[in-house]
Structure 1
Amino acid sequence: MQETLSSEQSIELVRLWRRRQTLSAAEMGEMYRMVGDALRSCNPPELRVLGEGRQELVAQFIYVKVLRLDADPDEADDAARSEAASHSAPSSAFALCAYFRRYLIDCTRASAFRRKLSIGDQITESQLEAHVGAADNAQDELAEHGLSAPSVHAAARAFIAGLPEPERILLCEGFGREAAGGLSGVAARHAIASYHYRAGRLGLVHKREGLPADYARTTLGQWISQTLGIAIEAGNMGAILQVFKILGAEASYA
């Protein structure tokens, strides 16, 4: 049985939830404590499946889904208006637990895709080598989609040349190589603002709960699916990783 919220807490939770993009630091702390207390005894089975610490998963849920601290401001404003219009703010511990479980289910569904895609903070050359396998399979993987290595190399050069400068720097210095300090180091050296959001939009990082369909909406995902014609799905990971390796090679020359 999950913890309960008093009538006053329920009212305060709804109030804070509906304006969660404009909360003060004190209000964020209050909401964090309130949600954390309400979920203290919420233990859905997905917690065991994910195999991570419960406290860490609760913190990630509050950060991503409750406070939405990683959201793009425009997207966050749209989401806030949509929730306010539908009166969907949870007002009980039971509703919060159900929302938390949906988040965990999304994380569970995405875990196999994340492992195959090898995206955490940064795609590195060692990760690509470990997953791509023998070079003599490359042509076969690409040929299944009507592609060849030379055609993908040419497409990769055009893709890189068409990126805005901040994204091009992040890709060329942080994709497929062991960049000093990772993407944050690249951003610091070139004074790139909002680098994590840019990297996520580009497709260099992938959210824990992100599904293949989410990755397909990134700039890299759209290039792979629309320009190269490879659907972003688990069955095509061999070809996608071959594309990543070629892109990494071209990025190192750009």
Structure 2
Amino acid sequence: MTTTPTPPTDEARLLDLWRRRPTLTEPEWHALYTLVSATLANRNADLIARLGGTREEYIQDFFEDKVLMLNQNNQELYHRGALAFYYERYLISRLRDPYIKHGLAPTEDDEEQSATDPTDDIEDESTLRRQLSDWLALELDSPTTETAATPQTLIAETLALDLEHLLTAAQDFLHGRGDWAHLAPDSDWIRLYLGCHFCPDGETRASISLNTLARRHSIPSYHTRAVKLGITVPKQQDAALTAFRRSYRGQWLLALGVEVDPEHQLEMTLALKILCFVALKQQESC
């Protein structure tokens, strides 16, 4: 008589997927997200109420910040209760961080700060911006290889990347594709934040405040999202770099192979300016 094997419990499946995160397939990642969401769905309502936003947002944040990011600091998971403990600690850390805590209304300083970049103190930044603007306008509208000074040359010499690869990486990031598929649910507001608030230079398009964008497009937790994207950071240099490395834009730079530190400001500026140019070109309506 053949015995039908007992299917694994949800907890056993959760622990198995958690342990195998470095090698999970895309369907397995979706399964893990479903199990994590089900485990955390009804927990810590008091903390979430103090933070603002929805439980779905914080579960997704936790998944992106603590489950997707595989590094030596990730904890082992021995039972489902440990996951709930990690999640509670994560929410508490969000409450303690004055730059992430929702409910902390951005001040005028925050709004001004969010419209700057950790790389904006480079002396030749304005010249670089003008050159890139001219080059990329030509390249994106009518690609050519006949000009002597090309964006391809600058990118190859500075970043050791070709322009086509960099433009594809920017488009994938902005639309939540490929390696950035986990950002697909956030892609609409990411493009709005960059194309309508952060990247406009005031000449061809005026910058719209985050508060206005949030009201116009019903974007919840809009200041928290600015921190996640890396367009609002603490004022202290060390804290700013640490927060920026964790942000979406910081992770995008690291994925390109660009170091996020003061010694690589030119490389950071170049890559982020190109991300801005692509965002501005693709975001027609604000």
Greater RCO (CA < 8 Å, at least 6 residues apart): 1
Q: TM-score, normalised on structure 1?
A: 0.48
Q: TM-score, normalised on structure 2?
A: 0.43
